[in-house]
Amino acid sequence: MEPTVDRPAPQVTVADIRTLVDSSAELPVLYINYGPGDDGDTEAELDVWATGLVFQPDIVLTHATALDQLGEEPSSETIAEFLPRVQKPWTR
């Protein structure tokens, strides 16, 4: 499933990137997780999981890229400055 104009992906937050950077999963990635919403429709949320278990087009940011761009222990301010690079419209 892909984001659409009617079903946009959620925006990446500082907390999302912090979760990715701190993850102990093997080769973690931040990705769009499509699951059932409260109303029965599909709901999109951001989650962190091992790259081998995630559908490639749903990946928003890899752990390696985050560390390369932000450093090993980025501050919240550094992450906030980085957000515009990963806050894409994610719609087609």
| pLDDT of amino acid 92 | 41
DSSP per position, 28-63: EEEEEEEEE-TTSSEEEEEEEEEGGGS-GGGEEEEH
Per residue of the chain (92 residues), give pLDDT as tens. Answer: 555 555 567 899 999 999 999 999 999 999 998 877 667 667 789 999 999 999 998 999 999 999 999 999 999 999 999 999 988 655 44
* Per-residue pLDDT, 89: 57
Query: Which sequence spans correspond to the domains of the chain?
Result: 14-86
11 close to 32: Cβ distance less than 8 angstroms? no
